[in-house]
Amino acid sequence: MGDRLTQVQDAVDQLAQQFVAALWFVQRRHDLETLGPKDKIFTPKQDGQAPPPEVDSLPVDDFRAGLTELSRDLITKEQQIEYLISMLPGLQNSEQDQERAIKELEEDLKAAESQRREALKERDQILAELDQVIRSIRRP
Amino acid sequence: MADQEQSTSSTFPNPPPFWQDFTPENLTRIEQLRKSFAEANPTRDVPTRLPVIPESLINLQPPAEPKDGRFKIFGEHYTLENKLVTLEETGIKNLAPTHPSRQGDNANPSSSLNRRDVPHTDHALELKRLAKSLLLNFLELAGTLSINPGDGPAKVADLETLLFNIRHALNEYRPHQARESAAELMQEHLDRTRRETTAIRSQVEKARRVLEGLGSLTIPAEAERGAAAAAAGEDAAQVAEELRELDRRRDAELWAATDAAFT
């Protein structure tokens, strides 16, 4: 799972692959019919062997169902792409906004870091005090 | 020849020979040279590359930038300025020249200044348009193929152009996303640092309370013991028993205070 741009990119690539797959399905699984009585289906001969059939027909209902499914998938994928696009980070920010935000964050980070150091120092001090107290405890 | 064989048989190539020039003596010498240069030219910053340098120290400073702006590393060609190749340069029709950052070189310089504060919302709109066109063009392609398959390739070319355009638009967006992610990371870091600080503070506070509790505890215990010692004229065995009892109670109080402070 990459960043969102890469996700969009991948989704677009998948959409392109789905295009090919859909065309291939139509090409391969349609019901082979002649348009007129004179038409013949051309099958190339290959030295006696029966060539693999060019069309592997599906029953009409299955073919229709397949078409519907493929089209639905295409549309879903397209909508997914649009959703991803609208989810791209910082659409409302311009480059200047970004630079300003980054500068502010930098300042805040510096302040927070110095506060942390202070707290650490305080902790070490209290630890030393506690240590001293524990050491000085003796049985009466 | 022997060198070559060695470098081809090892997993990683040998380091370039000039690493041996980085001796402590040479490093101090170049440091001195830099210093004297800075003294001679107080107004200027010391450049990374000193203009005059003895031959033996030449490898201690980075080489000059390539004059034509191109260089090759690991068999790949690069240019100094890392800029995105425009669609026109690759010979693909640019479908969406509406975004200011895509208007190319003929845009006047003032617009290139304005361009920095343009939000990217229209960029997203453009991408959505492209995505919709992609679907529509596929529908057209399917239609074309069913009516006149000979016209198919033209439509396929259209689809190709669309895909290239989308890819290009996405790549244009990448620097923007990189800045955005950087800001996000910094925010995360900031939050973490702040959380850590509060956690440390609260622990310190607790420890301080324990210390204070201990301080207030010892005084009455001492007083009691003093009183017990004053009454030590009577039975020695009874006093010893009392003392033990007192110690036990003091311990119990101490532990109770510690428990209270830490729960």
3-state SS of A9-24? Answer: HHHHHHHHHHHHHHHH
- Contacting residues of B for A8, CB less than 8 Å apart: 127, 170
Are A102 and B186 a contacting pair at CB < 8 A? yes
Chain A hits for B173, CB-CB cut-off 8 Å, are 5, 88
Kindly tell me the sign of the dihedral angle through the C-alpha atoms of A85, A87, A88, A92. Answer: positive
The Cα–Cα gap between B211 and B177 comes to 51
Give which of A17, A31, A115, A140 is closest to A70, Cα–Cα.
A17
Name the residue in chain A with its Cα closest to that of B160.
A16
Closest C-alpha among B20, B95, B91 to residue B57: B20
* C-alpha to C-alpha distance for B117 and B107, rounded to whole angstroms: 16
Confidence of residue A47 (pLDDT cuts 50, 70, 90): low
Q: Enumerate the residues of chain A whose CB falls inside 8 A of the CB of residue B174.
A: 5
Instruction: With a cut of 50, say whether residue A41 has pLDDT above it.
Output: yes
Percent of chain A with pLDDT over 90: 28
Distance from CA of A28 to the nearest CA of B (A): 14
Top-confidence residue, B206 or B3? B206
What pLDDT was estimated at residue A48? 60
The C-alpha of B119 sits at a distance from chain A's nearest C-alpha, in angstroms, of: 4
Tell me if B174 and A5 make a contact (CB, 8 A cut-off).
Answer: yes
Written as one string, the DSSP assignment of B229-250 is HHTTTS-HHHHHHHHHHHHHHH
What does the pLDDT look like over B219-248, one tens digit per residue?
Answer: 555 556 555 555 555 566 676 777 788 888
**Cβ pairs bridging A and B (under 8 Å):** 143
* Residue to substitute from A82, A88, A103, A129, interface B, most B β-carbons within 10 A: A88
pLDDT digits (tens, 9 = 90+) for B147-202: 888 888 888 888 888 888 888 888 888 888 888 888 888 999 999 999 999 999 89
Contact indicator for A140, B254 with CB cutoff of 8 Å = no
Q: Please tell me which of the candidates B119, B138, B186 has its beta carbon nearest to residue A105.
A: B186
User: Which of the given ranges, A123-127, B83-87, B104-108, has the highest pLDDT on average?
Assistant: A123-127
Give B42→chain A minimum CA distance, Å.
Answer: 32
How far apart CA B100 and CA A32 sit, in angstroms, is 52
Q: Which helix (H) or strand (E) holds B71?
A: strand B70-73
> Looking at residue B203, what DSSP letter applies?
H
Query: Is-contact A45 B106, C-beta < 8 A?
Result: no
- A124: chain B residues, CB-CB within 8 Å: none
A39-53, B45-59, B116-130, B205-219 — which is least confidently predicted? A39-53
Q: How many CB atoms lie within 10 A of CB B151?
A: 14
Taken as a whole, chain B contains a residue count of: 263
Residues of B whose CB is below 8 A from A126: 204, 207-208, 211
Which residue of A lies nearest to B208 if distances are taken between CA atoms?
A126
CB contact under 8 A, B200 and A120: yes
Of the candidates B131, B135, B203, which has its C-beta nearest A123's C-beta? B203
DSSP string, B119-179: -SHHHHHHHHHHHHHHHHHHHHHHHHHHH-GGGHHHHHHHHHHHHHHHHHHHHHHHHHHHH
Which residues on chain A are in Cβ contact (under 8 Å) with B193?
Answer: 109, 112-113, 115-116
Contacts of A23 in chain B (CB under 8 A): 141-142, 145
Considering only CB atoms, B117 lies closest to which of A94, A106, A115, namely A94
Contact B170 A8 (CB under 8 A): yes
Residue from B139, B141, B177, B248 whose CB has the most chain A CBs within 10 Å, to mutate: B177
- Over residues A80-105, the pLDDT tens digits come to 999 988 888 777 777 788 888 889 99
